[in-house]
């Protein structure tokens, strides 16, 4: 099997991770392309004796590391970490903490695998995760709209985000109801299923909402490959069903963390 065939199943998820890590589709995809170019040109290679997915993420970090370090260094100039801009928020959270949180909570790597990927010890990764989540949760409480046609799932999501300190201002099971409630409640974050059954499309609901005002959106779906196609536009934040509480926690934190106007609606 060729290297391209070996890595192909993992690329959509690496792109998801890169976007969440950088807070930008353009930046995340650019770093993934740079890693793949380095691999295919022979400048870098996957480490032998490790699973291809782990090796791919480690390679990505080797390419991304210098840029991340520069970002953190530029952050040392000070400023208010609770500022509304993502750049200011990053001053309160190092690249290692962001990576540790996403690798374990969103990408489902073990502590040992995450440590290998970012070249830290498992103990350092665990400490980084706790520190990252504490910073994120303390700064970014927001109002949340849940778009989900399955009542049990909607209730689970409501309980999860409420426990994280956010306020669920509305839930909606149809496209039209979601758009109406978004306009009336002005949430700071939307969690949206993509398939609302007879209620329409969650993607269409989000498109209409975003036409009115700018807020971060997290899509939730049992079929992430339908959205991670390589065609634009793609969602920056995506949670696969069935989801783990820590995955929701990490993704909500990242979505709010990187959005410059998220707190205006809170």
Q: What is the CA radius of gyration of the chain?
A: 18
Long-range contacts of 164-171 (CB under 8 A, 24+ apart): 164/137, 164/249, 164/252, 164/253, 165/137, 165/141, 166/141, 166/142, 166/252, 167/141, 167/142, 167/143, 168/143, 168/144, 169/143, 169/144, 169/145, 170/145, 170/146, 171/145, 171/146, 171/147
All domains of the chain, ordered by start, with CATH?
3-138 (1.20.140.160), 141-265 (3.40.50.2300)
Give me the tens of pLDDT residue by residue for the chain, a chain 266 residues long: 677 788 889 999 999 899 888 877 888 899 999 999 988 888 888 888 999 999 999 999 988 886 654 444 333 334 444 445 554 554 456 777 888 988 998 898 999 999 999 999 999 999 988 887 777 766 778 999 999 999 999 999 999 999 988 999 999 999 999 999 999 999 999 999 988 989 898 989 999 999 998 899 999 988 776 666 555 445 668 898 888 888 898 888 878 877 765 444 44
């Amino acid at each position: 099997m060729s290297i391209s065939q070996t890595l192909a199943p993992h690329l959509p998820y690496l792109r998801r991770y890169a976007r969440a890590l950088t807070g930008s589709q353009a930046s995340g995809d650019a770093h993934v392309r740079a890693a793949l170019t380095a691999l295919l040109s022979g400048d870098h290679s996957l480490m032998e004796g490790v699973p291809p997915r782990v090796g791919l993420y480690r390679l990505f970090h080797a390419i991304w590391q210098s840029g991340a370090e520069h970002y953190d260094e530029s952050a040392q100039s000070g400023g208010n970490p609770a500022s509304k801009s993502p750049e200011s928020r990053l001053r309160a959270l190092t690249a290692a903490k962001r990576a540790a949180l996403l690798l374990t909570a969103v990408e489902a790597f073990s502590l040992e695998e995450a440590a290998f990927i970012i070249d830290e010890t498992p103990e350092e990764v665990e400490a980084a995760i706790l520190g990252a989540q504490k910073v994120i949760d303390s700064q970014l409480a927001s109002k949340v709209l849940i778009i989900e046609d399955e009542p049990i799932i909607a209730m689970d999501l409501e309980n999860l985000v409420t426990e994280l300190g956010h306020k669920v201002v509305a839930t909606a099971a149809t496209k039209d109801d979601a758009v109406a409630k978004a306009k009336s409640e002005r949430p700071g974050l939307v969690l949206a299923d993509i398939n609302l059954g007879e209620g329409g499309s969650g993607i269409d609901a989000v498109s209409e909402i975003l036409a009115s005002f700018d807020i971060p959106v997290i899509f939730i779906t049992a079929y992430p490959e339908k959205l991670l196609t390589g065609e634009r536009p793609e969602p920056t934040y995506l949670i696969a069903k069935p989801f783990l509480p820590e995955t929701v926690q990490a993704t909500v934190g990242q979505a709010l963390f990187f959005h410059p106007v998220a707190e205006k609606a809170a």
